[in-house]
Amino acid sequence: MASTAIFSQSITGVVTDENHKALKTANVLVKGTSAGVSTDANGAFSLNLKPGNYVLVVSYMGYETTEITAEAKQGGNQINISLMPRSIFTDEVVVSATRAGVKSPTAYVNIDADELAQRNSIADIPNLLELTPSFIATSEAGNGVGYTNFRVRGTDATRINVTVNGIPLNDAESQSIFWVNMPDFTSSVSSLQIQRGVGTSGNGSAAFGATLNFETHVTGNKPYAGLQFFGGSFNTFKENFTAGTGIMDNGFSFDMRLSKLNSDGYVNYSGSDHASFFVSGAWRNRHNLIRANIIYGKERTGISWWGVPKDSLNTNRRYNPAGEYYDEAGVLRYYEGQTDNYRQTHYHLLYSGEFGKYLNVNAALHYTRGNGYYEQYEQDQFLPEYGFAFDSLSDMIIRKMMANDFYGGTYSLSLNRARLHAVLGGAANRYDGNHFGNIIWMRTAYQSEINHEYYRNSGVKTDVSNYLKINYDISDNLSAYGDIQYRFILYDMAGNDDDLMPDGSQKQLDQTHRYNFVNPKAGLFYDITNHMNAYVSFAVGHREPTRANFEDAVGDPLREPKREILYDYEAGWRFVTSKLFCSANLYYMDYVDQIIPTGEKNSVGYDIMTNVPESYRLGIELSGGVTVANKLSFSTNITLSRNKIRNFTQWAAFYDENWDEQYLPVLLGETDIAYSPALSGSFILQWKAFKNFTAAWTAKYVGAQYFDNTMSQNRKLYPYFLNNLQFDYVIITGKKGEIALRLAANNIFDVKYSSNAYGGLWYEQGTEQTWAYYYPQAGINFLGGLSLKF
């Protein structure tokens, strides 16, 4: 009840167009805070604030955004705001169709470019987002550069939908995201939305844990340029250059970025040598926008996906067995070509337009070309496994290669009328991928050919979807949401695999899979007060298995992967003012035939997965924050969850005293789902000590988790609590220029921890045995740098 007295001062008003007609659902935000409201059917709004002057940012699609200074005072302050039609079309509607809106009944977080830049200047996206609710990042190299990954609510990246400007980014076959192929991508990101759970319908693979929706650089009105130089521990360096023309008188604009990133990595031989660029050209007038983007990335990364053996964690945490071999004299050596190499280029052509007052159209064409390889030294390989007729062994260097094309189109039609907001959208995409492997060197060549090819297979995947989303205001306070998506998938695989069948024959991948999915969603959103709202929702999601799921199951009918279904129930509450916010989101995710990790990996580092008939995730996500005297701010979040498999059966190898093997089931009952901690959370404490200087203390806690589904203490990742410090000093030069200095210390208490692991078990004469590999993360490490804008 105290809040009534604290916020008895108010700013009220009406937002209209140039003809003094009310603008419903215009956004009125308090600048520099998370407080804001939408106008009602009469264009009216009300903000209850502490006494003082505030800058209000008022926006409405199709109109120029306006900033106005207003005073919150006892008895209220009534203001009228008139918005003028914009003279040119802006980028704001490019991602509007695929994002959750203010009244969407779902849990989401919006992050802008400034916040991304403040979190880190070198690490990949998973590390930048690890302070958001239910988000856990991991890094194979141990320092957030190179191969990185993440989970949301315990769900791995193959079940998290990612789009860029509404265009699918997930690899169509693995359904995962390889941030290593897009170095320094965040330097070209204007904004990002994370929706947790199934979320709203979008394009690409279904969301079983979260949706990440990126919007690339939005052009401002003025020319600009910038330079960044950052360096840190493990010989980690990043340099980038950005520049843009701003919007010129003829409506054209051009933007570009060049980046270089190098690191030795924390783990031995996990170094990165990355380069990327982003170029964008656009033309716009009052009602239309056409933009062309090219996103290019090139990476060369030391292979570290094998992990560190358990017995090395205490003696040499940075040990990397990949690339080690013994020469003919028995001397231990390292093969320096043990690297992963890939190039990826995205071409996007985007169109947005207004047709009358109520209809907006978005459309995009896209094409992505990717090709690359990785090499590794293999000792004492049995030659018949590689297609040779010689019953012998030889050392060899193999190169596994892939080349793929991904192309298609997306569209959306958005209608905004009175109480109705509707979006009709969809996509049609095709992926054509080829996988093949060569032996590029053999110690004993026999009669082999140069670059002997020992496997080749292909996959062609067609994905077509359409969705209809409707928000309807039943009253000024109550809105109903409905969403239905139809998705069709056709996936053809052909050729032979790099693995053999148990009888020694080549594994054949020839198979076709067809799926038809219907995914309904519905919810209610209620504005309790101007600062408080609540929502409930229900959503259904379907997912097809990945290429690796099909590949690993060949020859074993019992492991043939099934499609999986998720029934997602969510309920939330939010309270937001200019100085205070808090929220709670309760979720229950009920799965049918969920595909879960077994704790093992295949030969190329992918998790080996299996279906479980019944499983669920039940949790609550709590978030809050407060700002004190505009100097000190504190925000935090915590997730408490229960992640269970019902009636789980573990299959394992049993060896008797004669080492005869049997593969038998072990019934374990209800167990924890692998990689799903029951507790996680983070906080940010920021202090604006004096003009231009900010200090921040951030922390992340991840509770205990198992890396298989048996809940064995021998296959467990222990809790860790990380603390980081960051200091920023910004000097403003002119109207747009600035010089920013940064110094950061990460993991300041030098915690020795592993954020990920994999392994398995077997039984010897009835006694359980464990094998395991871990991904240790860096201890205390430092970062410093200089950023220039002019």
Q: Identify the DSSP state of 219.
A: P
Q: Identify the DSSP state of 73.
A: B
* pLDDT value for 708: 93
Burial 145-165 (b: 16+ CB within 10 A, else e): bbbbbbbbbbbbbbbbbbbbb
The arithmetic mean of pLDDT across residues 456-485, rounded, is 96
- The pTM score is 0.89
Domains recognised in the chain with CATH numbers:
1-86 (2.60.40.1120), 214-322+351-789 (2.40.170.20)
Cα distance between residue 686 and residue 32, in whole Å: 14
Q: What is the pLDDT of residues 122-173, one digit of tens each?
A: 888 999 999 999 999 999 999 999 999 999 999 999 999 999 999 999 999 9
Q: Find out whether 530 and 559 touch, Cβ atoms under 8 Å.
A: no
* pLDDT value for 9: 67
| Backbone φ and ψ of 469, nearest 5° | -120, 135
Q: What is the pLDDT of residues 61-80, one digit of tens each?
A: 767 788 888 888 776 778 98
pLDDT above 50: residue 8:
no
Cα distance between residue 446 and residue 494, in whole Å: 30
Query: 122 vs 332, which has greater pLDDT?
Result: 332
Q: Identify the DSSP state of 335.
A: -
Query: 49 vs 237, which has greater pLDDT?
Result: 237
Residue 601's pLDDT band, with cuts at 50, 70 and 90, is low
The arithmetic mean of pLDDT across residues 766-775, rounded, is 94
Q: Find out whether 589 and 567 touch, Cβ atoms under 8 Å.
A: yes
* pLDDT value for 318: 96
Among residues 270, 268, 256, 262, the alpha carbon closest in space to that of 231 is found at 262
The arithmetic mean of pLDDT across residues 593-605, rounded, is 73
The arithmetic mean of pLDDT across residues 443-470, rounded, is 91
- Write out the E strands in 39-169: 44-49, 52-59, 66-72, 77-82, 107-112, 135-139, 148-152, 155-156, 160-164, 167-168
Among residues 342, 331, 332, 326, the alpha carbon closest in space to that of 378 is found at 326
Q: Find out whether 82 and 16 touch, Cβ atoms under 8 Å.
A: yes
Burial 53-73 (b: 16+ CB within 10 A, else e): ebebebbbbbbeebeeebebe
Q: Identify the DSSP state of 55.
A: E
Cα distance between residue 287 and residue 179, in whole Å: 35
Q: Find out whether 64 and 85 touch, Cβ atoms under 8 Å.
A: yes
Residue 19's pLDDT band, with cuts at 50, 70 and 90, is confident
In the structure encoding, which two tokens stand for residue 56, read together? 């209000």
Q: What is the pLDDT of residues 198-212, one digit of tens each?
A: 999 988 888 999 999
* pLDDT value for 4: 33
pLDDT above 60: residue 260:
yes
Instruction: State the virtual CA torsion across 540, 545, 549, 551 in degrees, nearest 10.
Output: 170
CB atoms within 10 A of CB 573: 15
* pLDDT value for 776: 97
Burial 450-480 (b: 16+ CB within 10 A, else e): eebebbbbbbbbbbebbbbbbbebeeeeebe
Cβ within 8 Å of residue 547, ≥6 positions away: 173, 174, 459, 493
Return mean pLDDT, the chain: 91
Cα distance between residue 85 and residue 61, in whole Å: 9
Q: What amino acid occupies position 350?
A: L
Q: Find out whether 455 and 481 touch, Cβ atoms under 8 Å.
A: no
Residue 38's pLDDT band, with cuts at 50, 70 and 90, is confident
Sort strands 77-82 and 9-16 into parallel, antiparallel or unpaired. parallel
Cα distance between residue 711 and residue 717, in whole Å: 11
Q: What is the pLDDT of residues 162-186, one digit of tens each?
A: 999 999 999 999 999 999 999 999 9
Q: Find out whether 448 and 467 touch, Cβ atoms under 8 Å.
A: no
Cβ within 8 Å of residue 248, ≥6 positions away: none
Cβ within 8 Å of residue 9, ≥6 positions away: 48, 49, 50, 51, 72, 73, 74, 76
Residue 5's pLDDT band, with cuts at 50, 70 and 90, is very low
Coil vs helix vs strand at 289 = strand
Q: Find out whether 624 and 636 touch, Cβ atoms under 8 Å.
A: yes
pLDDT above 70: residue 454:
yes
Sign of CA dihedral 15, 18, 21, 27: negative
Cβ within 8 Å of residue 483, ≥6 positions away: 200, 201, 467, 468, 469, 470, 520, 521, 522, 539
C-alpha distance across the termini of the chain, in Å? 48
pLDDT above 80: residue 608:
no
CB atoms within 10 A of CB 509: 19
| Backbone φ and ψ of 550, nearest 5° | -65, -45
Query: What's the full length of the chain, in residues?
Result: 790
The arithmetic mean of pLDDT across residues 220-244, rounded, is 94
Range name among 369-378, 499-508, 572-581, 678-687 with the lowest pLDDT average = 499-508
Q: How many CA atoms lie within 13 A of 684 on its CB side?
A: 21
Residue 390's pLDDT band, with cuts at 50, 70 and 90, is confident
Range name among 68-77, 299-308, 338-347, 632-641 with the lowest pLDDT average = 68-77
Cα distance between residue 654 and residue 766, in whole Å: 7
Range name among 52-61, 158-167, 363-372 with the lowest pLDDT average = 52-61
Percent of the chain with pLDDT over 90: 68
Cα distance between residue 432 and residue 403, in whole Å: 9
- Write out the E strands in 286-358: 288-302, 308-309, 324-326, 332-334, 339-355
Cα distance between residue 225 and residue 223, in whole Å: 7
* pLDDT value for 116: 84
Q: What is the pLDDT of residues 674-695, one digit of tens each?
A: 999 999 999 999 999 888 999 9
Among residues 346, 28, 304, 307, the alpha carbon closest in space to that of 162 is found at 346
Longest dimension (CA), the chain: 94
Cα distance between residue 461 and residue 514, in whole Å: 10
Cα distance between residue 129 and residue 461, in whole Å: 30
Cα distance between residue 238 and residue 256, in whole Å: 17
- R_g of the chain, CA atoms, integer Å: 27
* pLDDT value for 410: 97
